[in-house]
Amino acid sequence: MKSKISLAAAALAAGTAISSGELASAQCSVTPPPGSIASGDGCAQVGGAADINGGCNIIPAVFTDLGSIPAGGTLNVTGEFGTYDASGAGGAATTRDLDWFLVTTDGGTLTVTLQTQNELATGAMPNSVIFIKGNVGADPCLGNFNVGVQSNACPHVQSYIGGAGTHLVVVTTPFETAGAAELYNCGQYLLTLTHTPLSFPVCGTSSDDCTSAHAAGGCNLPACCDGVCSFNPLCCEVAWDQGCVDQAVTSCGLFIYNCAPPTGAPANDCAVNAQLITVGQSNVVANNVSAGTDGPTGPSATCLAKMGKDLWYTIQAPANGALGITTCPSGDATTDTVIELYGLGTDPVITTARAATLPDMYIGCIDDSCPDATGAVIVGGPTAVTLIDAIGGEYYLVRIGGWYDDTTTTPDAADTFSVTLETSFQFVVFTTGAQHAINSNGTLTNLGLSSGCTAAATQQRWLAQPFSVPASSPEWNVERITVKGFAPAGVTNTTLNYVVWDRPAGNPAPTAANQRLAGSVPYPVPYDAAADDYANGAHDVGVAFALPAGNYYLTAYATNANCATVFSNFAWFISAYDGINLIDAAGPFAWRSATFPTPGFVRYTLPATFTMPSGADPADMYNAAFDIYGTPTTTTPPCAADFNGDHVRDGLDMTVILSNWGGTGGDVNGDGTTDGLDMTVLLSGWGACP
């Protein structure tokens, strides 16, 4: 059993960058200047002592409010942080102390300088971490961090430029890493906060958009506003006119939507004219030879891989699940495509005004993701993307363009291509929902139950987690299992394994006779599922088997080839609120084994120091987090006009006909043209296929 504090997950899930700093400085003193503030809570909270500035990791959240820093002012804070043995039982440190501070400024640069000293007072900590969240409002726990940086520099310095308001600063050390026990034992730090005011105070209070001209001076991006006004003071002192807008776009990399299609451009060359397609639709050819570029391309470009000559498509997710878009089958090593996704919600219409907010709707981008015959990614080749958490009924905007080198050329020189855009969808067969932290002695902790060969006496430390396959299809082709967890320090995981057991009525412990199937994959690279409290905890297991509708257990565990001497461990996160609860007369529990089949799975509960957060269902304590994806099988072929094969003729199929009107892509009656006759077939059979 291992635990990790939830702040790192929250920061990383929000997209915060964690990066290495420069080599440590020789000068790193923690001697407090006169007037320094003591944080006062220490570090080693053994036995669950109160963490008086434990922030959002404490229930209820508690912060140290440092008050206001005047213009040009400085505050110094002394404290202690690091990793510690929360249980007091000895052994490697398992918990990390974080110190959370609130500070108020009237707008400008907040500079955070952190100097540290290790436990033995022989030098600085090997690394430290600084998080900054600007203008937190009434609830500092809401929203994303603006800065999150790990560095081995000492002093470690980070800055944030923001408007007038209260800001959140969090300082800590990294978690222990494999083979690095006691690397970050509790040590001292000196935190210095400095406020440098804006040259133009209106930049800290203006609410006007920087990309539109307005009568008042200033705009709502403090750093950009201050820079533009330093170049032209009239932009703050008189009015933010079109010249100020142009300067902001150029110097700050802001995005203004504009589309002027070249001669011969495809109909979907502009985002406002995106082509509506459906999952599984055939013959969707993307040819950008005569296309222009209207998506983000400059310093504000959403994708690190720059793209030009872009085409646009909208697609609706038929249900909650994984939406796949690929050019791999039709591309080759010379087809250099880049794909971006944007979330449109339930409204597929993109007006010019809405297109101006493309960066705000951005989900992510992919470049160079298709494998060659050996499985290696083709660099400079085609692309495939999968949106793992598509929401049923919502629309997504797909931008596909050619790569270009922005250091030597412009979007007009982007690669050209003609590829078939293929789409697919994996339905959610079962999900426990997101992984959540639990309450450990008053601290929110991401807790994983060890699964694998964890010790000589527990060579089959397994869990059996209940799930059900819905009866909406008599059978499902299961294609992927995603399990949430982490590999604790000091273990060797070479494979991630799964077992599916039949689950009889009454939810008894599974026995050898209940095993339905099993398999393994090389231990996968984890990635971040943003809804989870822990970052980079999702592990995909590719599978291929059929399951009839019914009730089952899932087991997931890590292993290696030398279990007797080299231990393995997949710490499978619990506290997933939508899982199936196992409850008996004594309360909620989990089925867990040490060795199998003897004694096999037995009833397991956690110590009373672990509880669910306030407002959560205590019965959800032992639900390990996982998702199962697949596609329904059917006994009859799709009916006429059921383009996506879901055995329902509905609005998704109508979009195929409308978006292909006059062409061939929505032809139902076989006359080679998509027209009113095909619409008649669809409408006359509206609803479920017979």
Q: Is 454 helix (H, G, I), strand (E, B) or coil?
A: coil
Where a domain ends, among 405, 440, 467?
405
CB 70 within 8 A of CB 195: yes
SS3 for 393-418, per residue?
CCEEEEEEEEECCCCCCCHHHCCCCE
Backbone angles phi, psi at 274, to 5 degrees: -60, 140
Do 478 and 390 reside in the same domain of the chain? Answer: no
Do 506 and 603 reside in the same domain of the chain? Answer: yes
CB 584 within 8 A of CB 616: no
Structural domain containing residue 389: 271-405
> Per residue in 509-532, pLDDT tens?
999 999 999 999 999 989 888 889
Q: How many Å from the N-terminal Cα to the C-terminal Cα in the chain?
A: 52
Per DSSP, helices labelled H in 267-414 are 352-355, 358-361
Name the token pair of 143. Answer: 């929203």
Name the token pair of 555. Answer: 């087991």
Residue 640 lies in a domain: no
> Per residue in 85-105, pLDDT tens?
766 555 554 678 899 999 999
Concatenated DSSP letters for 659-683? HTTTSSTT--SSSS--SHHHHHHHH
Cβ neighbors of 119 (< 8 A, separation 6 or more) are 82, 182, 185, 186, 187
Residue 266 lies in a domain: no
CB 439 within 8 A of CB 48: no
Do 236 and 187 reside in the same domain of the chain? Answer: no
Pairing of strands 422-431, 626-633: antiparallel
CB 601 within 8 A of CB 515: no
Dist CA 548 CA 281 (whole Å): 27
Do 440 and 399 reside in the same domain of the chain? Answer: no
Residue 418 lies in a domain: no
> Per residue in 103-137, pLDDT tens?
999 999 999 999 999 988 889 999 999 999 999 98
Number of domains in the chain: 5
Do 488 and 568 reside in the same domain of the chain? Answer: yes
Do 326 and 367 reside in the same domain of the chain? Answer: yes
pLDDT score for 44: 67
Residue 547 lies in a domain: yes
Do 588 and 460 reside in the same domain of the chain? Answer: yes
Do 224 and 301 reside in the same domain of the chain? Answer: no
> Per residue in 364-381, pLDDT tens?
888 888 888 777 788 888
Q: How far is CA 394 from the centre of its chain?
A: 19
Dist CA 548 CA 503 (whole Å): 13
**By mean pLDDT, which of 35-49, 185-199, 431-445 is the weakest?**
35-49
CB 607 within 8 A of CB 620: no
- Burial class of residue 662 in the structure, from the number of CB atoms within 10 Å of its CB (0-12 exposed, 13-18 middle, 19+ buried): exposed
> Per residue in 375-426, pLDDT tens?
778 888 888 888 888 998 899 999 999 988 888 888 888 999 999 999 999 9
Q: Please say if the pLDDT value at position 689 is more than 60.
A: yes
- Burial class of residue 507 in the structure, from the number of CB atoms within 10 Å of its CB (0-12 exposed, 13-18 middle, 19+ buried): middle
- Residue 570 pLDDT grade (very low, low, confident, very high; cuts 50, 70, 90): very high
Residue 416 lies in a domain: no
Dist CA 569 CA 205 (whole Å): 52
Q: What is the mean pLDDT of residues 601-617?
A: 92
CATH code at position 98: 2.60.120.380
Do 52 and 131 reside in the same domain of the chain? Answer: yes
Max Cα distance, the chain (Å): 88
Count of beta carbons in the 10 Å neighbourhood of residue 630: 26
Strand partners of residue 189: 79, 116
Residue 476 lies in a domain: yes
Do 116 and 238 reside in the same domain of the chain? Answer: no
Residue 636 lies in a domain: no
Where a domain ends, among 252, 280, 295?
252
Q: Is 202 helix (H, G, I), strand (E, B) or coil?
A: helix
Do 168 and 291 reside in the same domain of the chain? Answer: no
Do 30 and 70 reside in the same domain of the chain? Answer: yes
pTM of the model: 0.73
Residue 496 lies in a domain: yes
CB 19 within 8 A of CB 110: no
pLDDT score for 7: 32
